[in-house]
Structure 1
Amino acid sequence: MACHEIAALRLGMMNVIGIDNEAEKQHELEELGPIGLDHGPLKSLTEAATMGELQQYFESSLTLLEEKVSQMSANDKKLPYYRSLLVMTKKVELDLRNQMESVKRLYEDLEEMHDFMHEIYPAN
């Protein structure tokens, strides 16, 4: 099976959140195989350095996956797997979006709390 999008996302997440686990990295690189070395959204996803890049490159990789599935023959024995992969990656896309919104909300809430602290304790 080839869950390239998930493997690439995990590699990018390792960069963004600072996980330095060589065994996990090698596992995901093996999952990707040579496709992970190609240029394109998957390669970019493996090298993501920010949450914004993770989201952008993951969404781009899903576009390519959707195109691949749409071009598959109805008789292709791998079609059910790829359709399931589409469902799973859509769920991950939504989860990633929710995480981004949550972090942005935290960022905005910090400013509100900072302002509130100055209401209580005015700066001299």
Structure 2
Amino acid sequence: MSCYEIEALKLGLMNVLGGGDGHAREHAEKELEGHLEGPIGALAAAETLADVENHLDAALVDLEEDVATMDADDPEYDYTRGRLLAVRDAERAVRRLSVQGESVVDGLGDAHDLLHETFPEE
């Protein structure tokens, strides 16, 4: 059993943030071998936070469809539902990261404006 969405998200965020633990990257890549198509592959290769959000949403839709079509007696059912909850939680975390990043950019703009108000150019 593997959490393809979570491993792909880790890789995508490492790309966006520009680094990450080499061991964590290798582990995620190994977990995803043979599963790097569709939204999972796009998520793992994401280069912007907007891409991460879009591809994570697409992966979540696919996972929701998987859960919806599974028989509740399937031995994988509970695990797959757990993955769904984890990915929904990750989606909220990524959204918070995006909102915080936008707040930093807005704050820098405010600081820039304040600097020019305090020290006007003549």
**TM-score with structure 1 length normalisation?**
0.92
Counterpart code for 2:84: L
One of 80, 83, 88 as aligned partner of 1:82: 80
User: Which stretches of structure 1, 4 residues or more, deviate above 6 A after TM superposition?
Assistant: none
Structure 1 residues 20, 108: CA separation in 2 closer, same or farther (over 3 Å shift)? closer
Q: Select 2:96's aligned residue among 89, 95, 98.
A: 98
Q: Which amino acid aligns with 1:98?
A: R
Unaligned runs of 5+ in 1: none
Deviations 1:68-97 (A, max 9, x none): 111101111111111111111111100100
Gaps of 5+ in 2: none
User: Paired residue for 2:7?
Assistant: 7
CA distance in 2, matches of 1:12, 1:95: 14
TM-score (norm 2): 0.93
Alignment-derived partner of residue 33 in structure 2: 33
Number of aligned residue pairs = 122
Determine the C-alpha separation between the residues in 2 that align with 1:110 and 1:17: 19
Seq. identity, % = 32
Deviates more, 1:17-26 or 1:78-87: 17-26
